[in-house]
Structure 1
């Protein structure tokens, strides 16, 4: 509503109307524009969602080391975070704030960030407390603090490096963390570092970490260069030895002896062998292999699924989150099991990943519109995804149980609404309490604005009709044509990428645009509707690839696309022959 009023006021403020309309209209235009700006501000405030998160760059340290805590808040920039409880267990070495705000597509977004470099006060398991701003509460974080027992073999040098691999044995496609930990007590510059390359493995660079520590009572700065490795074949791999050339400042004694201000340090890392185990035989055959330290599955509904009505859509959103997997490793969450009782219209999946210092976390979001075609009791099937817990070395399942829902018919719903309306009228009595004075003032104010907006809309509509009477309106068929062309464009994209899952989803979406009133909901129905032997064969092949246990990974989507294009051309030619004068439905 506020967007319409703002556009209306902008039109009324245009030069043409400024010259032709009376002063009264100009006053209305100015007032309407001010009201639109006011409602836009209110809308921005109301839609700006706040969130409070806390994370650390390391969760295992010694008493001589520092770690970095980052608290992020997407809310009012004037709010502050209370860290008094944090000081009970940690000394704050340094801290700083950062504000970032922006307006994207008319929506306000941004965050305020507090960063603390801190050192633990004691050994043991310490807890970074939950922080609270308004109704937002962050998660508490557990930190393990150890004695500074381990001393690198090169202690005493100004600059040295060590190589740390978090596991010497891993499953195929399991995440392995490699750290190059560089210690330095003097100023340094990097001259040359060999590139890390590992055969039969995917390599991802993670966020680097910086902190301070003490070795033999000598303070060092430490930089950790972190990598995630995903071996792609069982057997063995090796993290190779690398050469690091670093220019380091000489100590005062060396410089005073005429050796120059800097010296070149040639460091070499250790080679680390890793044994890669195959996928366990106990893992379900045909399922996507998912070795992770954590995997969760959640769902959200746009409305209460227990109040479904036949024929009305509801949106279901499934979120699969992992720790230790790349986004590309996450599987399709649900197959689109259309049936006579339920139709599913999926959206394109949304994937994301975060490459933090502790490893990769990722998520996959699938949203779909569900339409119940029949009234009565229906079952929404369970979702069950097997995965391998690398911490406990055993098979687990991320699952959402099946749900039984009762679907109301449209006629029953209308009758219920009428009964509610009658009941609410009967409950009204003359003795009902009147609104408070403040409420009444606001109510009358909004009513006045609504009346004003209505009057202006009517005036503008009359003037606009006079000014644009000869103009033609965009036919509904053209708008449908645009949506259909977009659906076909995405279908061609997935075919050329040889992606059978997304191709099937997009075929159903395209069919819903092509046949508006009674679209086919499965590949079999689509094949019957097209009635073309070549296209039918390709659709059946696609169905077999998707649902056979041993799917053919060499599916060629271009063949299906060629068959579909031929069918579309034949339909366009047939329409032209019939003399209906229609252009091809989706040209090229």
Structure 2
């Protein structure tokens, strides 16, 4: 029976562990929309190794799998090592419609389902009977000021091309920030029954003024291969140079909406706030730092457009923000900007504290209305810091001896009197010897004080020299450790383990200089720390202690002639 119970618990534990170890597999597409006569790429990505190789056969119902490949990617972001696996499929739709890609099985692991919309073949500005087609298009005709519009250049060829070049965009009318969206993509399509190789290049444009944005016709240069590659001529010669112009493009840029009432105009497809904590929120202790990471993620805005995250002050909690980290992720659908802010929180008192909500109003360009990205308020409970006080030997009083004063030796009878006299005398001598030993040991215990004080003074001098050296060198990390050592030697009855305990015990002005030290330790904006004020505060505390000690000695002196 016991064996069965143990086996059941082990099985449940293993199942729970396997669920925790499941690989999360994401799925994405290289562009939207997808045309029925165009190939496209579908990506499956995971940061963990899946259970088995993927089974892509369910996709063959609605798509033709032209090719598949697997790649590994290793990156280091903010000192964190990340490894990912990526599977890339080149697919061709079989018909027009909306299709749900079912979850692909990687053994026991599985990806989520994914929706793909396939549209009919697009209308081209250049007739399909040519060998070269060059298109310029945009995903929107009307864009709010500072919003994103994705502009696409497509060069379609059914000839052997040895080299090509698409010239830069020339824009008139308004000031525009242009962000390239990655490398040139290649895929296949069919126009008029003929196969074409497509070279596609995308840009994200952010107009800074309202009005008309005019893109001039773009020039493309193509060098054709005059002779095909053969077994006897593996290096084909370069042929004629062809030039082709795309059509021009005019877009309308609208001003800020009258219904938007927030100070920062943020037109985007989506904006969200993400909060992460480093440390256990259920075990927050006074003086121990916890790191809060707040990320503002916007689809359709660059990181430079995102505002500073305003964090309100909290009484009883010191906050030290790092320098924000700005990142731009370039996708086929545009820019995803991220502003990441790390904040070190150090509670200075025990109790419950409310972290106020963080709200960022923004403008939804799809629904044309104002929305708010929000992190709700949160209550944190802070436990008091505990001092570890060493056990000290008490100054106990001597045994009360009342029998000595009342000791009476009686005369024994004639038969046994001499025996009892000697026994009583021996006991009396032993009692007096015990009192003498106690008195001597008491004197030794009392005289051991100066020796102990001398050892403590020696350690205190070493700690002061170390603290002085760290403050003189403006070494914040070394000063933190030296200050803890100095405080433990200065007050040996207390076991300081955190700077907040020192600040709480000694008060101002040392507490203020400890706040400056913490700000330098927990902030990435590495401004040189000046240790002069911290050292002067410690010197002042030492001097005050010496003055008090001198006064105490004077008050203990007894007059010579009472």
TM-score, reference length from structure 2: 0.62
TM-fit CA distance, 1:271 = 1.5
Where in structure 2 are there 5+ consecutive unaligned residues?
1-20, 229-236, 389-461, 480-508, 520-526, 541-562
TM-fit CA distance, 1:382 = 0.3
1:211 corresponds to 2:187: yes
Please give the alpha-carbon distance, in whole angstroms, between the structure 2 residues aligned to 1:149 and 1:191: 24
Aligned counterpart, 1:223:
199
1:350 corresponds to 2:309: no
TM-fit CA distance, 1:176 = 0.8
Please give the alpha-carbon distance, in whole angstroms, between the structure 1 residues aligned to 2:39 and 2:124: 16
Q: Rg: which structure is higher?
A: 2
Q: Relative to structure 1, is the Cα distance of residues 221 and 482 closer, same or farther in structure 2, using a 3 angstrom cutoff? A: farther
1:164 corresponds to 2:137: yes
Indicate the structure with greater helix content. 1
Aligned counterpart, 1:385:
360
TM-fit CA distance, 1:158 = 0.7
- Give the CA RMSD over aligned residues: 4.4
Aligned counterpart, 1:85:
58
Name the stretch that deviates more: 382-391 or 272-281: 272-281
Alignment of 1:75-154 (within 5 A): 75-76=48-49, 79-100=52-73, 109-131=82-104, 133=106, 138-148=111-121, 150-154=123-127
TM-fit CA distance, 1:163 = 0.9
1:338 corresponds to 2:332: no
1:182 corresponds to 2:155: yes
1:518 corresponds to 2:491: no
TM-score, reference length from structure 1: 0.59
Q: Is the 8 A contact 1:77 1:111 kept in 2?
A: no
Q: Relative to structure 1, is the Cα distance of residues 211 and 381 closer, same or farther in structure 2, using a 3 angstrom cutoff? A: same
TM-fit CA distance, 1:151 = 4.4
Q: 3-state DSSP class of the match of 1:518? A: helix
1:243 corresponds to 2:194: no
1:404 corresponds to 2:379: yes
Q: 3-state DSSP class of the match of 2:304? A: helix
Alignment of 1:237-386 (within 5 A): 237-249=213-225, 262-286=239-263, 288-305=264-281, 307-335=283-311, 337-386=312-361
Alignment of 1:437-516 (within 5 A): 475=466, 481=473, 483-484=475-476
Q: Is the 8 A contact 2:358 2:374 kept in 1?
A: yes
Q: Is the 8 A contact 1:325 1:361 kept in 2?
A: yes
Q: Is the 8 A contact 1:209 1:357 kept in 2?
A: no
Q: Residues 312-360 of structure 1, C-alpha deviation per residue, up to 9 Å, x if partnerless?
A: 332222122111111111222233x334322112222222111122211
TM-fit CA distance, 1:370 = 1.7
Q: Relative to structure 1, is the Cα distance of residues 141 and 210 closer, same or farther in structure 2, using a 3 angstrom cutoff? A: farther
Q: Residues 269-323 of structure 1, C-alpha deviation per residue, up to 9 Å, x if partnerless?
A: 122112211222322343x221110111121223453554443332222122111
Aligned counterpart, 1:453:
none
Aligned counterpart, 1:455:
none
Q: 3-state DSSP class of the match of 1:399? A: strand
Aligned counterpart, 2:25:
52
Q: Is the 8 A contact 2:31 2:332 kept in 1?
A: yes
TM-fit CA distance, 1:520 = 7.8
TM-fit CA distance, 1:113 = 2.3
Where in structure 1 are there 5+ consecutive unaligned residues?
1-47, 253-259, 415-471, 488-514, 527-563, 579-588
Aligned counterpart, 1:441:
none
Please give the alpha-carbon distance, in whole angstroms, between the structure 1 residues aligned to 2:314 and 2:44: 47
